[in-house]
Amino acid sequence: MICDAFSHIPLKRRKFRSIDPMEGEEAQAKLTAAKEKFGREIQVFETSASSSSSQSEESKTEEPEDFYEFTAEDYYRVLNAKKEDNTLKTRKLREAEKAARRSKITKVTVIRVRFPDNHTLETTFNPSETVQSLVDLVIKVVAQPDLPFYIYTTPPKKPIKDMSQDFHTAGFVPGAIVYFSYDIPKADDAADAMSGPFLQEEIMSLKGLELINKHVEPPVQCAPETITEPQPPVVPEKKPEGKKPAKPKWLKL
């Protein structure tokens, strides 16, 4: 599932309370430690039950696989629509336009990996990175990294097989939701694996910390009180009274 925003995904949010600044510092320390260890900022959410139930209902009414097949008729219709445009453009010009479009796109792609137990791991990548970098991260954070797994998009369910393509080519810019599933035969071991937990305890401890970190109010710092000394009263200067000019002795009237 590729999406420009995640506003339609209901996430379980805790009711906010007055958060101690010390608790906020601990949350920030955990997030920073995870970033240093895994090389990326990691957030963990829990999707609501209504979201998972609606997803299961959609899967029940999902169209058959051949409904989404790209037929020859579709091919020729698209080909005719672009024929005139393609004949007027050289290969270098098309590549230049493609590079220009990419440069205008956001420099970060947000990827959410949703697990069967309704937990979602969110992190960011550079659009030029490959899908293999996402798989490498998943291996580091899952509870059972030794078990084979695959990631896919839906609907329709489409396993991601080409790990060498970058996120631009995969269509995962500016963001996408991918789904995690173990790739093991249906047996008792498979049932145990699918029951979870899917993420390591260290990763699960990050759940909700970004909310605490965002809602910690910084301590209020009082500005130092300035004491102003009273100014002495200003006494207006008395102007000297004007004197009449003296009569010169030599002047005789």
Separation CA 32–CA 22 (nearest Å):
15
Burial of 167 (0-12, 13-18, 19+ CB in 10 A): buried
CATH numbers and ranges of domains, the chain: 21-67+106-214 (3.10.20.90)
CA distances, 221 to each of 19, 21, 23, 99, 212 (Å): 17, 14, 19, 49, 21
Asked whether 137 and 121 are in contact (CB, 8 A), the reply is no
Amino acid of residue 251:
L
Asked whether 12 and 86 are in contact (CB, 8 A), the reply is no
For 42-100, what is each residue's pLDDT tens digit?
A: 999 898 755 555 454 444 444 455 544 556 666 666 666 666 565 556 776 776 676 66
3-state secondary structure of 131: helix
Where residue 113 falls (left for φ over 0; alpha for ψ -120 to 50; beta otherwise) is beta
Residue 195 — pLDDT band, cuts 50, 70, 90?
confident
Residue 229 — pLDDT band, cuts 50, 70, 90?
low
Asked whether 2 and 172 are in contact (CB, 8 A), the reply is yes
- Pull the structure tokens for residue 72: 């020859």
In sequence order, the β-bridge partners of residue 44 are: 121, 207
- Pull the structure tokens for residue 101: 């479009």
Separation CA 97–CA 124 (nearest Å):
26
What's this model's pTM, rounded to 2 decimal places?
Answer: 0.59
Write the DSSP assignment of 110-128 as a string of letters. EEEEE-TTSEEEEEEE-TT
